[in-house]
Structure 1
Amino acid sequence: MILTWLYAPGDRPEVVAKALRCGADAVIVDLEDSVSASRKEYARAATAELLTERPPVPVHVRVNALGSPWAGADLTALVRLHGLAGLRLPKIDSAEQIGRVADRAGGVALYALLESALGVERAYDIARAHPSLHGLTLGEADLRADLGVTAEAGLDWPRSRVVVAARAAGLAPPAQSVFPDIRDLEALAASCARGRALGFLGRAAIHPRQLPVIEGAYLPRPEEVTAAEEIVTAARAAPGALALPDGRFVDPAVVAAAHRTLTLSRRADAH
């Protein structure tokens, strides 16, 4: 189960190499926002060379936006490489865009970044656009600009919209967008707690120092593990809906959530 994703600029292979060894569950090599126009071709070539072999952790690539001068060449260079675990598609605002990429991607896992009001409004249609689409997430910097949002709370509705759309389409819970201040780890922890409450699972980072904070925020607390163990034990003894001795009502959905908590706790134990 992936909780931490770390971005690294595709035109800096030495940074990508460090990212692969810093403890992130997966690395996202970026060919888009962090790479200037003059270095797009170099970033693409360097990334393609990296992915000729399978890296030590899953590597996703954020390609350039569809319709940009570079997107077509990005897809052509990457989709058949053995080391590619997934493609991140920025600025998606229609299901048709997913279909067009899926036709070229040969079954590679696709992830849609929703970065505009239109993309958020169409989240469910995008989420069920094609079987190759494995997830949704928000691109919150662009979305803030599009909406004119000036406070964290202003993104609660788009965040909830993406969580609901992903669930309704049978996709995994989305990971949170990056937190831009790499120094304020306390604010990052608070933001992760809010994201977890809204239904996100894990988060993308832009610096290795953010990774332990993200993981700690999304791993279950001891009291949550204890409660989950009680629920699973009771459900095994009496399948179906039941009431626990403390009055809590348990149905299959609650049991499923408890199993997810225990899966996450086993990850913590392994560390």
Structure 2
Amino acid sequence: MIPLTWLYAPGDRQEVVAKALTSGADVVIVDLEDAVPPARKEYARAATAELLTTIPPVPVHVRMNALDTPHAEADLKALSPLPGLSGLRLPKITTSAEVVRVAERSAPVEGGAMPLYALLESALGVERAYDIASCHPALRGIALGEADLRADLGARDDAALDWPRARVIVAARAAALPPPPQSIYPNVRDLEGLAHSCAHGRALGFLGRTAIHPRQLPLIAQTYAPTQQEIESAEKIIDAAALAPGAQALPDGHFIDPAVVAGAHRTMALARRSAP
């Protein structure tokens, strides 16, 4: 299933993690980094390790502590061999060497290396987006950490982040990675603002979004799912391509080619994901 919703839960609050697992999120991200105060790091790691000794009801990723902290090595040793872990999210990545180091030190899983996801949260990370995105087969995705990036840039307007957003989307696709999920929307009560932000992110090329509260999930899923009009258009394109492969003009005047057909198939894959 193509994930559209990714829900963060603090690793030191087991009751919140338990609720996240039944929230309807496609992926739960247990956070050992920013959401956990220093005095609670060891407890959060141990609680998360206990959770992941069995397979949870939905895929669980863990955002480990930054690689330049004393907690990172302990996180890696405690979590990477566990059967319930579906991926490691690496915060504040600025070089491809950091990703390679984690990939080489992670315990192998069935089918290969532990899936890794790099979070680019600084100007330097964004500048090196493609090098990071293409550095190792274990890397399955990249994404922005917009709160830290905003602080690094001194950005006062959300529009200032559109160029970094586009840069990361292009880097991911150039490296044959999935389109990144959009970064969190920090105001959990402002659903109107969330809807506007999601629509803008979808237009840029993001696919899905991370969230910090379950109430954000339905709106994210709704915004990123194909509309009925998009589904009908995709069906027409696929049917036309099946009858006459190659570039052609449809009766309504729209021109299609293999790239447009591929996009139509992606739309239908998302539609099937959302079907009851």
Q: TM-score range by the shorter chain?
A: over 0.9
- The Cα of 1:268 is off from its aligned counterpart by 2.1
Residue pairs, 1:1-271, within 5 angstroms: 1-105=2-106, 106=108, 107-270=113-276
- The Cα of 1:151 is off from its aligned counterpart by 1.2
- The Cα of 1:266 is off from its aligned counterpart by 1.6
Structure 1 segments, 4+ long, off by >6 Å, are none
- The Cα of 1:247 is off from its aligned counterpart by 1.2
Q: TM-score scaled by structure 2? A: 0.97
Structure 2 SS opposite 1:93: coil
CA distance in 2, matches of 1:211, 1:222: 20
Q: CA-to-partner distance for each residue in 1:129-149, whole Å, 9 max, x for gaps?
A: 100000000000000000011
CA distance in 2, matches of 1:4, 1:233: 30
Q: CA-to-partner distance for each residue in 1:82-126, whole Å, 9 max, x for gaps?
A: 000000000000000000000011311000000000000000000
- The Cα of 1:246 is off from its aligned counterpart by 1.1
CA distance in 1, matches of 2:274, 2:172: 25
Unaligned regions of 5+ residues in structure 2, if any?
none
Structure 1 SS opposite 2:275: helix
CA distance in 2, matches of 1:233, 1:71: 51
Tell me the percent identity.
69
CA distance in 2, matches of 1:150, 1:59: 33
CA distance in 2, matches of 1:111, 1:184: 28
- The Cα of 1:242 is off from its aligned counterpart by 1.1
**Structure 1 range deviating more: 261-270 or 67-76:** 261-270
Structure 2 SS opposite 1:8: strand
**Structure 1: which amino acid aligns with 2:244?**
A
Structure 2 SS opposite 1:204: strand
CA distance in 1, matches of 2:197, 2:9: 22
CA distance in 2, matches of 1:269, 1:113: 31
Report the count of equivalent residues.
270
CA distance in 1, matches of 2:275, 2:121: 36
Q: TM-score scaled by structure 1? A: 0.99
| CA RMSD of superposed structures (Å) | 0.6
